[in-house]
A and B are shown apart, each in its own frame.
With several copies, the nearest count.
Chain A
Amino acid sequence: MDLRVRIGNKHLQTPVGVASGTFGYGEEYEPFLDLDSLGAIYTKAISLLPRQGNPTPRIVETPSGMLNAIGLANVGADAFITEKIPYLARLSSCAVIPNISGKTEQEYLDLVEKLDPYDTLWGYEINLSCPNVKKGALAFGTDPAQVESITRKLRDLTEKPLIIKLSPNVTDIACIAQAAEAGGADAVSLINTLVGMVIDTRAKKPFLANKTGGLSGPAVRPIGVAMTYKTARSVDIPVIGMGGITCADDAIQYLLAGASAIQVGTWNFIEPATAGEIATGIQAYMKEHALSTIADFHNCID
């Protein structure tokens, strides 16, 4: 049985990763699981300069989901290099994949250029889709032409695997994925969060200081699976699926839908040990259903 997943010129040891923004840079989860058992850690978004993020409240619960408007709060590229990379370098088999977030096209390019010399970093997940940053990436992520163009420029800067993370807030996510593929992406990951809002009726104002936030959690799982299914049938590069995964069975839904790898996001907050257990559950399923590689999942459903 082979759980490895090929992306670009490299492999992930298992399809199970943890989603950007839900796992910090890993440290906080060490008490709960063996980080090196994961396929990949997608870090909290990294921007060129440190960001404080949005005012609080940044979080509100919704039925089987949550909204967040963290606002890409992060330490910035320099502190990431000096403080986080040394810690993450201790991992031997788990891929460390920074999630790259810019306010401008140039910022994306600068970030990849700056981080590329660090061998500890396995590749990049390019966040073209965060709905919480004003004047931010939303524009990129919804326009195929811009997605293709920025992907091509990033492609020229690095040989490492380049994963383009897609927004679900679009009419046709598959067409954005095709643009990323055309630009030279090694994989696409989806879904980022959906734009949502909760209004505090007593205070007569949006509950989040940022007004809107990004919806994630079990509530969005059927949307993530449907978009994965559609996208996997539209591109030849691997699709990394996420949205509402809570257990091996949810992960297997994504694999059967056509994903080559998956990420656990919000559920890390609820059951911090989960991501460490899913690979075992996938293995048990593969045994029971006589599947020998992850690619075998993709022949089950047409």
Chain B
Amino acid sequence: MNDASVTIVQNTEHSPTFRELSFTWDASLGRPRAGQFLELRLPGTTAPLLRRPFAFSAYDEENQTASFVYEVRGTTTQLLSTMEPGMPLQILGPLGNMFHAKTKGVIAVGGGIGLGPILYAAHQLSPHHDLTLVTGYRSQESIPYSLYTPSCPPSICTDDGSAGVKGNVVEYLESLPQERFRDTTILACGPHPMLAALASFSNAVGCTCLVSMEEMMACGIGACMGCVIDRTDGTKARVCKEGPIFNSGEVVWT
């Protein structure tokens, strides 16, 4: 875990919804793993005040760069989208735990801005696992085709059917044969309702499901107790420290 000033290398629009930011990442800062995140801050202002968490979408060891995928939603991402290569960013990371799979099969499911860490996980696991990448979008125009790599071809779902399969990612999984979930782990990142649906789906088909949870964070390092979720054993867990990756069975879905 490190607190570093890094430099923007690229700030690319891949679709009207998705942008990707690449920045210098010195090896000494620690190797970021799929599922881990960083806490980003724009220098020079106190508004936005809090750092914002973004999950790594890639790490290029050779060129010493790392990336995340983002969507412009509010104050930080709005300002971020105007920033140019060469400008500095404050980054704290890598933070949190990571995706992993002990099974032969892996189904990596990304919805919305959950795309980044899922791409990274798919990229890392595809050589060693029987991997299916499933990504869901509202409609065709938001799809960031240029973020995909030939080594991990995606199944694409759109709500309106304008590209790929019509329907959401859960409906897509339901359409797969039951055998596909044998000796398989589902890895998922996306909106809360999607994760909740995947939790009950995986429960039904009897496979492990790891979800990346999202909560408002102040510190990102486990100190403020701001980002907790309820666990089925009655305790609370910090998304930034015990997570962000949880077994879907240990999360209380509300």
Spell out A's residues near B (CB within 8 Å): 21-24, 28-29, 31-32, 44, 52-53, 56-66, 68, 70, 73, 217-219, 246, 266, 268-273
Bound-state CA distance A60–B74 (Å) is: 13
Closest to B216 in A: A59
Closest to B51 in A: A270
Interface centre among B41, B226, B227, B236 (most CB of A within 10 A): B226
Spell out B's residues near A (CB within 8 Å): 1-3, 41, 46-51, 90, 92, 215-229, 236, 241
Bound-state CA distance A58–B236 (Å) is: 13
One of A24, A28, A70, A246 near B46 (C-beta < 8 A): A246
Total A-B pairs in contact (CB under 8 Å)? Answer: 98
One of B48, B225, B228 near A44 (C-beta < 8 A): B225
Contacts of B219 in A (CB 8 A): 22, 28, 268-269, 272
One of B41, B48, B227 near A61 (C-beta < 8 A): B48
Can you list 20 A-B contacts with CB-CB less than 8 angstroms, sorted by A residue number?
A22-B219, A29-B221, A29-B223, A52-B236, A56-B229, A58-B225, A59-B224, A61-B216, A63-B46, A64-B46, A68-B224, A73-B236, A218-B49, A266-B49, A269-B218, A269-B219, A269-B224, A270-B50, A272-B219, A272-B221
Q: Closest Cβ of chain B: how far from A244's Cβ, in Å? A: 9
Interface centre among A28, A57, A246 (most CB of B within 10 A): A28
Bound-state CA distance A164–B57 (Å) is: 48
One of A23, A58, A62 near B226 (C-beta < 8 A): A58
**Does A59 lie within 8 Å of B217, measured CB to CB?**
yes
Contacts of B236 in A (CB 8 A): 52-53, 73
**Does B216 lie within 8 Å of A24, measured CB to CB?**
no
Q: Closest Cβ of chain B: how far from A22's Cβ, in Å? A: 7
Closest to B45 in A: A64
Q: Closest Cβ of chain B: how far from A171's Cβ, in Å? A: 27
Bound-state CA distance A29–B90 (Å) is: 17
Contacts of B48 in A (CB 8 A): 61
Closest to A18 in B: B223
Bound-state CA distance A29–B46 (Å) is: 21
